[in-house]
Amino acid sequence: MSYLPYIQVALSILLVIGVLLQRSEAGLGAGFGSDSGTGYRFMRRGFEKTLFNATILIAVLFALSALTPLLVVR
């Protein structure tokens, strides 16, 4: 299990990059439940959808790698 910290560091760097590259259409008010009143929904397409799905996958892999030491019986 000596390679696990290196995997976690790599996944965390990829996760930060994935989150920072995503486009944000929401203002600060949208985070608290208010609507901006624009009346349309943002639909991800192409690269943005791929980046969004990859970010979710990386987040799940990071969570699993963090829980792995708890699940592995020595």
Within 8 A by CB and 6+ apart from 42, the residues are: 25
* pLDDT tens string 27-41: 555 555 655 555 566
Task: Write down the pTM of the prediction.
Answer: 0.72
**Domain-wise residue ranges, the chain:** 1-22+42-69
* pLDDT tens string 6-25: 999 999 999 999 999 987 76
pLDDT at 26 over 70: no
Helices 4-21 & 47-71, crossing angle to 10 degrees? 150
